[in-house]
Amino acid sequence: MNIFEVLKSGIAILEENNIEDSGFDAGCLLEEAFGFTKNDYFLNRFNTADEDKTEKFISLINRRASGEPLQYIIGKWPFMTGEFYVGSGVLIPRADTEILVEAAAEFIRRNKDVKTVYDLCSGSGCVGISIGMMFPEVNVYCVELSDVAFSYLERNIKLNKVQNVKAIKGDITEGYEKIAVGEIDVLVSNPPYIETDEIQTLSREVRQEPFMALDGGKDGFVFYNVIKDRWIPYMKKGSFAAFECGENQAEQLKKMYSEYSDKTEIFKDLNNIERVVSFIRN
């Protein structure tokens, strides 16, 4: 069996198990099992497949067919210009979240006096670390409570070699005063925002991500209220905040924070869904 035929067999298994984007997923797992780049595959696809590597590929395919997220199987995933370790117990970085980073980055570019960024509910650290990579002169503090996610956060800081990013083990519900290590110039967060009752309706892949990183309470706004009550009051005039949110949450979130700002903005994601709300503190 050649490598092309091995790939086809993997795609067929995924399709039989109703895996979306089965061709993409199988291609990623082939590269993982065979140690290929995409270019390697095209140059070698009609060569006889190594039996041990084929066996490893089919093992990975079967894990994916069972519903295990592709990112967890591979163990790393790209985000912005970095790469991040991921696995069971940490939220998977998604392209839509890059809009949160870009919103903060645009503010920092326009305001050269920004010195401190807080990333609340940091998870893998993809948001805070990406900001730190873009602005090495800025101090970024990534706050995370989960033991498992915190271990990934620390590993990802080392992986991306960011000297200006610090992991802080802490509970954001305790408020700014408990965690503070400096003034807030920029505050960003991709907090849990899915309504508790909706989590069981999500895809089987998403349901394998940590409940703690998904559950935003009965109305999805538990953590937004915590940030509003225990963090935003400590933001100085002219400071900036941006938050990722779920579908149909942006307008309510904008209204919630309107008492602190008359300069709010909503950013849409790649699917034209209102995904990020930002504001400048009055």
The DSSP symbol for 235 reads: P
Nearest Cα neighbor of 282 from 232, 225, 229, 227 is 232
Q: What per-residue confidence (pLDDT) applies to 187?
A: 98
The DSSP symbol for 117 reads: E
Amino acid in position 121: C
pLDDT digits (tens, 9 = 90+) for 118-177: 999 999 999 999 999 999 999 999 999 999 999 999 999 999 999 999 999 999 999 999
Question: Mean pLDDT, to the nearest integer, of 238-263?
Answer: 94
The DSSP-derived string for 69-95 is: -HHHHHSEEEETTEEEE--TTSPPP-G
Q: What per-residue confidence (pLDDT) applies to 38?
A: 81
For residue 263, the cross-strand partners are 280
pLDDT digits (tens, 9 = 90+) for 72-125: 999 999 999 999 999 999 999 999 999 999 999 999 999 999 999 999 999 999
Q: What Cα–Cα distance (Å) separates residue 99 from each residue in 1, 140, 244?
A: 43, 18, 8
Rounded Cα–Cα distance for residues 221 and 237 (Å): 25
Q: What per-residue confidence (pLDDT) applies to 90?
A: 97
Top-confidence residue, 9 or 38: 9
Predicted confidence (pLDDT) at residue 37 exceeds the cutoff of 90: no
Rounded Cα–Cα distance for residues 190 and 118 (Å): 12
Task: Decide: residue 163, CB within 10 A, 0-12 exposed, 13-18 middle, 19+ buried.
Answer: exposed
Provide CB contacts within 8 A for 240, sequence distance 6+: 104, 107, 111, 114, 185, 186, 187, 278, 279, 280, 281
pLDDT band at 207 (very low <50, low <70, confident <90, very high): very high
Q: What per-residue confidence (pLDDT) applies to 279?
A: 96
Taking 3-state DSSP, the helix, strand and coil percentages for the chain, each rounded to the nearest 5, stand at: 50, 20, 35
Rounded Cα–Cα distance for residues 127 and 122 (Å): 7
pLDDT band at 39 (very low <50, low <70, confident <90, very high): confident
Looking at every residue in the chain, the average pLDDT score rounds to 96
pLDDT band at 262 (very low <50, low <70, confident <90, very high): confident
